[in-house]
Structure 1
């Protein structure tokens, strides 16, 4: 699965770049920026990590995307283990909202982030920005794409979409709330009550058909199919990549040799890298041949490890 007109480049990564805290956040926002050392008009991916992770995670994605022409920006959200908020911290109920505000702070301060990376000045294409995220980070990215959360405090749906975001990729992301939630989740995680009807930004959804984490952690009464809701219920979700045998870490996207990976599979990760790169280049109107080629290769494979379906 070759990606058209692009070869891997050396990558420079700078961390932490510190952005001032938004009102109520309490902690300054720490950010990592990774970029290829060559090329101009570089598109941008803002990536939201899963619960507990940080800007240190997701190297298999961030390194690959940066080496293939993207500037990848990774915040550390307040729920990171590196922040260490106590369980009774009053900010906990609003973590979902702080996460979205983190992503918007990054978009608001691209000048500062650009200037903090040696050699990056004048090389960003701000008309081509994508949001991506894994697990809780998928919901965070989804909010920028148009996903609406029923705010537990106001009992109203929150529209936190951002027109600067032109495409998205959601990895192992929670599905709809309501009757799909467990009693535990309904009581303790009301932010999982979401509405996908307004998620109109073009996006790719990735799910593992053996992802049992939502049930294990009492999030849903359903199985792995819950994680396909963002595709089936969102008008903007163009395609779904289902990975056969994949669990919540989808073969190891959360990091190199991390303990969260229960289904280590380099072949699966390599497929995700190529599919997401091809999709983002397609969705951001950079080139389209690679996306067509990836879909064709999977459909014609004698022993496929995944399936792409599109609306």
Structure 2
């Protein structure tokens, strides 16, 4: 599969662009308790570069998920990776008064990144004037996928089952949601007690999104099986696609990084498929005339030994 090019920038799968990266880029956040640190990665050449804001999973940081961030940047995206307060690199104690609000602070982190594009553009040598602010996507893994989904329109249900505050952001045009948890009706007693924010409604997730689920992803937070991770697709409106990876567990073959401890199902081929399909999806979602996604779907359907299956609506 060869992803197509965007706006004249070289993004061939066979000849990825050189990536330049800056970190930490610091965004002032006086109401957060500490400033927000972000990694900014971008191709060294090309103009009108689209943006991906990526939210990491629990405990990770701006330095995680290199298999995805590096690939996207090498193929034409500016990738912005904030470090959330739950990162192991920050060592926030469990009794920190911010802990109950970390889920909400995570969402504010992503909005702060979008508000701080001028700062981040200036921080990377040669990047000034090369960003396309009209083509922005969000992506995330696990808790990060939940965080990203709110900018696409997902809402947390209150104790009466009513949707809470709308935290969507009109600047965000598409999303990639990797191992996003499902509805809150099936939480274990522990999860229901400690994570009241895990009660989403996907009814108002209107932008196009690709949801990626592992066929063997069994969560200790849910009383259901791996199908729990397909809820975001099942219960959201149109313009969604679901990639189910056969045999994949929560790390989906290793997207947090190659040979990292949390990966229980190391499979570079799965990671490669995710790289190609997420890129192709975002190309077509952000550029209406792009045919990358159609070609990627056809290639997967014609693969005699597919690593996963696709559904779309």
Query: Tell me, what secondary structure is at the counterpart of 1:191?
Result: coil
Counterpart CA distance in 1 for 2:33 and 2:163 is 25
TM-score (normalizing by structure 2): 0.95
**Is 1:266–2:268 an aligned residue pair?**
yes
Query: Tell me, what secondary structure is at the counterpart of 2:85?
Result: coil
Contact 1:151 1:158 in 2 (8 A): no
Query: Tell me, what secondary structure is at the counterpart of 2:133?
Result: strand
Query: Tell me, what secondary structure is at the counterpart of 2:61?
Result: coil
TM-score (normalizing by structure 1): 0.95
Measured after TM superposition, the shift of residue 151 of structure 1 is 5.3
**Is 1:288–2:290 an aligned residue pair?**
yes
Counterpart CA distance in 2 for 1:303 and 1:126 is 39
Aligned equivalent of 2:8:
none
Aligned equivalent of 1:4:
4
Aligned equivalent of 1:207:
213
Aligned equivalent of 2:201:
195
Counterpart CA distance in 2 for 1:237 and 1:173 is 17
Match of 2:77 among 70, 77, 96: 70
Measured after TM superposition, the shift of residue 150 of structure 1 is 2.8
Aligned equivalent of 1:301:
303
Measured after TM superposition, the shift of residue 27 of structure 1 is 1.2
Aligned equivalent of 1:56:
63
Counterpart CA distance in 1 for 2:254 and 2:163 is 36
Contact 1:149 1:157 in 2 (8 A): yes
Per-residue displacement from partner, 1:63-103 (whole Å, max 9, x unpaired)? 00000000000000001011111111111111110000000
Query: Tell me, what secondary structure is at the counterpart of 1:190?
Result: coil
Aligned equivalent of 2:36:
29
Contact 2:243 2:310 in 1 (8 A): yes
When the two chains are superposed, the root-mean-square deviation of aligned CA atoms in Å is 1.6
User: Which stretches in structure 2 are left out of the alignment for 5+ residues?
Assistant: 6-10
Counterpart CA distance in 1 for 2:233 and 2:132 is 28
**Is 1:256–2:262 an aligned residue pair?**
no
Aligned equivalent of 2:153:
146
Structure 1 segment 88-127 matched on structure 2, within 5 A: 88-127=95-134
Instruction: Give the length in aligned residue pairs.
Output: 305
Aligned equivalent of 2:165:
158
Query: Tell me, what secondary structure is at the counterpart of 1:137?
Result: helix
Counterpart CA distance in 1 for 2:122 and 2:52 is 17
Counterpart CA distance in 2 for 1:286 and 1:255 is 31
Per-residue displacement from partner, 1:222-279 (whole Å, max 9, x unpaired)? 0111111111111155100110010111001001221011111111100000000000
Query: Tell me, what secondary structure is at the counterpart of 1:33?
Result: strand
Per-residue displacement from partner, 1:165-208 (whole Å, max 9, x unpaired)? 00000000110112x11111111100001111111111000001
Aligned equivalent of 1:172:
179
28-37 vs 1-10, greater mean Cα deviation: 1-10
User: Which stretches in structure 1 are left out of the alignment for 5+ residues?
Assistant: none
